[in-house]
Structures are given as structure tokens and as C-alpha cells.
Amino acid sequence: MMLDFFLYDETEDNHSRYVGFVGNHGRYDLAIIQTGRFFGKALVLNTQSNRFGIIGSDDLEEEGYIAHILDLEPEQGDEVVEFLSDIIVTDFGDME
């Protein structure tokens, strides 16, 4: 099949972080990709469940949201929220 029309095809710099850690309720393996593409939010992938979400600081405050989108138990979601709260930035320019 030949594609005649792309909706978008862009390349941009990004900040990628791969982290594995153990909490009181489980082990977590995440890939976090921060770009200017998602309105200041980060693409967070749970590599254990193959689930992902586009997450910003506002999403971290929504009860149960992270557990739901990353396919985690509620207690595990709370641990991931605690971790992400320290690294989710609101602006691509704020990244180190």
C-alpha cells in the first residue's frame, strides 16, 4: 500500500529516561520521554504491561488515574505517582 498523505512526520529532540525501581508494593520499569510535542506533558511507558500515557503534573493529582492508565494496582499507582512527581516537568525547557 502506498501512502499518499501524511498527517504529520516530524523529528525533534527529546529527553528520554529509562528507570527501574522497587517500591513497597512492586517493581516498576518505566520509560519517560519528554518533548515539546505533548503540550508540556511526558510520554510514560510501563514496559511491564505495555501500557502508556501522556502525563502532566495535573494528571498526577487525579486520584487513581496513573494506576488505571499504566495497568497498576492502586497502591502501585501511588508509588509511581510519588516517583513521577519529582521528575515530571511542565515545560520542555525545564528539563536537564
Q: What is the pLDDT of residue 84?
A: 96
pLDDT at 6: 83
- What does residue 56 show for φ and ψ, rounded to 5 degrees? -120, 175
What's the confidence (pLDDT) of residue 39? 86
**Where along the chain do its domains lie?**
15-94
Average confidence (pLDDT) over 21-27: 97
d(CA 39, CA 60): 15
**Model pLDDT, residue 1:** 60
For 32-83, the pLDDT digits (tens) are 999 888 888 999 999 999 999 999 999 999 999 999 999 999 999 999 999 9
The candidate with the shortest Cα–Cα distance to 70, out of 5, 39, 26, is 26
What is the structure's pLDDT at 28?
98
pTM recorded for the entire structure: 0.84
Residue-level pLDDT at 92: 47
Degrees to nearest 5, angle at CA 65 with 35 and 84: 45
